[in-house]
Amino acid sequence: GSSSASQIERKPLFSSLDSKDVSSFKEILGDKNVVEDEERLETANTDWMKKYKGSSKLMLLPKNTEEVSQILQYCDSRRLAVVPQGGNTGLVGGSVPVFDEVIINVGLMNKVLAFDEVSGVLVCEAGCILENLATFLDTKGFIMPLDLGAKGSCHIGGNVSTNAGGLRLIRYGSLHGTVLEAVTANGNVLDMLGTLRKDNTGYDLKHLFIGSEGSLGIVTKVSILTQPKLSSVNLAFIACKDYLSCQKILVEAKKNLGEILSAFEFLDNNSMDLVLNHLDGVRNPVSSTENFYILIETTGSDETNDREKLEAFLLKSLEKGLVSDGVIAQDINQASSFWRIREGITEALQKAGAVYKYDLSLPVEEIYNIVNDLRRRLGELANVMGYGHLGDGNLHLNISAADYNDKLIGLIEPYVYEWTSKHRGSISAEHGLGVMKANEIFYSKSPETVAIMASIKKLLDPKGILNPYKVLPHSLFSH
């Protein structure tokens, strides 16, 4: 187990599941969708990194909003704690129980409900897998406004609940453009399933649910603005000597490729090495080994012009000495092999051993200073790497080691949080707080702000049954 999660105590006010509860759930959902099978529970209790593990004895699989409402109403009346779960790809221990919370997984709610080819608005159930939505939209000539390495497993409801960022945020913005339907703790269904682009009637409550990590309600439906699929997508893979050059290339790319820029991602050579060592069939696209690599993707509608633009950009950057080597993918297969490197880092890290993950927003000019500082601090004890969404100022600082141990944690925390706070960054840029960082929220938010969050939580979930021990500090909810 991980150090911070193992220091939490189960709240005695929560009931323990009994056989009457199980029968009641079976009445609501039918026997088949009340899961007591040990093997399936083992999977559902364990997070993607195999770092966090709960001991739930029950997983519920509702088929529609009405069933979610009924289960929550029941759990609230019995004060049974629950953990909402989607594809279980979250990286902060938010999607698995800490103790014996009942798991509510919306995976059976996976239907596309409507798609409007004029507005591009897609309405679907929360359990739709991101990649399936992308495949569906492809047949209609549209794309999802978000893309991430976990697309094959993560749910759109999970994406909305974590406000997932990913590889296209630089172009299409965050999921706060999304609207949804949510069910709160007492079973109330809040229908916010609008499809309007503009609607300024009062407080826009949907934003509370986007990024609240299952602590305020369960998202059951999502309505999301998708984008037309454009004909020309190009991808460059670039090598750079130093971090300052990466920064300069970002500034130049925004200036010169602005209207077609759709991704700007980076990785350092430690990350590249890890991918080459742990994933099959991957090779470095450029001939030289360098300290940094950048992926620049453009998306536009003028095939000849867009490509020439990217080529000219690359050439100019080579001439200026900002880039030491670079290639543009010749076809879709080559482009996927470039993306495989960037998107494969998470998987490679998992294969390499224990990983300590930090997901920081920092001023772009500070991003690599923390990597260097931590590398000096940890010396031979661990492998420190930096990669992430450079175009959005989002660093993934990862420390790979043989195991999870308190000595290493003690050297990393609170050092990384203090460093981030000092530079007015965020300790969670896109992954959320989960159980990992619930107690660390004050590094990025003022006590006044957190107090209002706690009041909102109390309002929507008075008994605190929704994803306890996550997001907000435990000290605020001692009873």
Which residues contribute to the site for ligand FAD (CB under 6 A)? 48, 83-91, 94-95, 106, 126, 148-150, 154-155, 157-159, 161-162, 164-166, 213-214, 218-219, 346-347, 430-431, 434, 467, 470
Beta bridge partners of 235: 297
**Binding partner selected for residue 87 from ligand FAD, ligand MLT, none, CB under the kind-specific 5 to 8 Å limit:** ligand FAD
Q: What is each CA distance from 108 to 28, 29, 47, 67, in whole angstroms?
A: 15, 12, 19, 12
CB of 350 to ligand MLT, least distance (A): 9
Q: Which of 17/185 has CB closer to ligand FAD? A: 185
**Binding partner selected for residue 88 from ligand MLT, ligand FAD, none, CB under the kind-specific 5 to 8 Å limit:** ligand FAD
- Give the distance from CA 240 to its chain's centroid: 27
Dig out the tokens for 93 from the structure.
């221990």
Dig out the tokens for 178 from the structure.
């999304």
Distance CA 182, CA 198 (A): 20
Q: What are phi and psi of 102, to 5 degrees?
A: -70, 130
Residue 327: closest CA among 292, 277, 293, 369: 293
CB of 387 to ligand MLT, least distance (A): 7
**Binding partner selected for residue 155 from ligand FAD, ligand MLT, none, CB under the kind-specific 5 to 8 Å limit:** ligand FAD
CB of 284 to ligand FAD, least distance (A): 20
Beta bridge partners of 115: 122
Distance CA 455, CA 473 (A): 13
Residue 87: closest CA among 152, 36, 22, 138: 152
Sorted by sequence, the CB contacts under 8 Å of residue 218 that are 6+ apart come out as 68, 72, 84, 104, 106, 126, 157, 182, 183, 466
Does the footprint of ligand MLT cover residue 309 (CB under 6 A)? no
C-beta atoms surrounding 229 within 10 Å: 13
Query: Strands, DSSP E only, in 199-285?
Result: 218-225, 227-228, 232-240, 261-268
CB of 131 to ligand FAD, least distance (A): 12
User: What number of H helices and E strands is found in the chain?
Assistant: 17, 18
**Binding partner selected for residue 374 from ligand FAD, ligand MLT, none, CB under the kind-specific 5 to 8 Å limit:** none
Does the footprint of ligand MLT cover residue 391 (CB under 6 A)? no
Strand 102-105 relative to strand 59-60: parallel, antiparallel, unpaired? parallel
Does the footprint of ligand MLT cover residue 396 (CB under 6 A)? yes
Q: Which of 378/460 has CB closer to ligand FAD? A: 460
Q: Which residue is nearest to ligand MLT (CB)?
A: 346
Q: Is 370 within 8 Å of 395 (Cβ atoms)?
A: yes
CB of 85 to ligand FAD, least distance (A): 5
Q: Which residue is nearest to ligand FAD (CB)?
A: 158
CB of 86 to ligand FAD, least distance (A): 3
Does the footprint of ligand MLT cover residue 168 (CB under 6 A)? no
Among 97, 145, 149, 464, binds ligand MLT (CB under 6 A): 149
Q: Which of 214/326 has CB closer to ligand FAD? A: 214
**Binding partner selected for residue 74 from ligand FAD, ligand MLT, none, CB under the kind-specific 5 to 8 Å limit:** none
Q: Is 385 within 8 Å of 378 (Cβ atoms)?
A: no
b/e map of 98-118 (b: 16 or more CB within 10 Å)? Answer: bbbbbbbbbbebbeeeebeee
**Binding partner selected for residue 126 from ligand MLT, ligand FAD, none, CB under the kind-specific 5 to 8 Å limit:** ligand FAD
Q: Which of 128/267 has CB closer to ligand MLT? A: 267
CB of 136 to ligand MLT, least distance (A): 23
Does the footprint of ligand MLT cover residue 346 (CB under 6 A)? yes
CB of 347 to ligand MLT, least distance (A): 9
Q: Which of 349/471 has CB closer to ligand MLT? A: 349
**Binding partner selected for residue 396 from ligand MLT, ligand FAD, none, CB under the kind-specific 5 to 8 Å limit:** ligand MLT
**Binding partner selected for residue 62 from ligand FAD, ligand MLT, none, CB under the kind-specific 5 to 8 Å limit:** none
**Binding partner selected for residue 464 from ligand MLT, ligand FAD, none, CB under the kind-specific 5 to 8 Å limit:** none
Looking at beta carbons, which pairs linking 113-118 to residues 24 or more positions away fall under 8 Å?
113/221, 115/140, 115/142, 116/195, 117/142
Q: Where are the alpha helices (DSSP H) in 30-173?
A: 38-45, 65-78, 130-140, 156-162, 169-172
Dig out the tokens for 296 from the structure.
């620049």
Q: Which of 181/359 has CB closer to ligand MLT? A: 359
Size of the site for ligand MLT (CB under 6 A): 6
Q: Which residues bind ligand MLT (CB under 6 A)?
A: 149, 345-346, 359, 388, 396
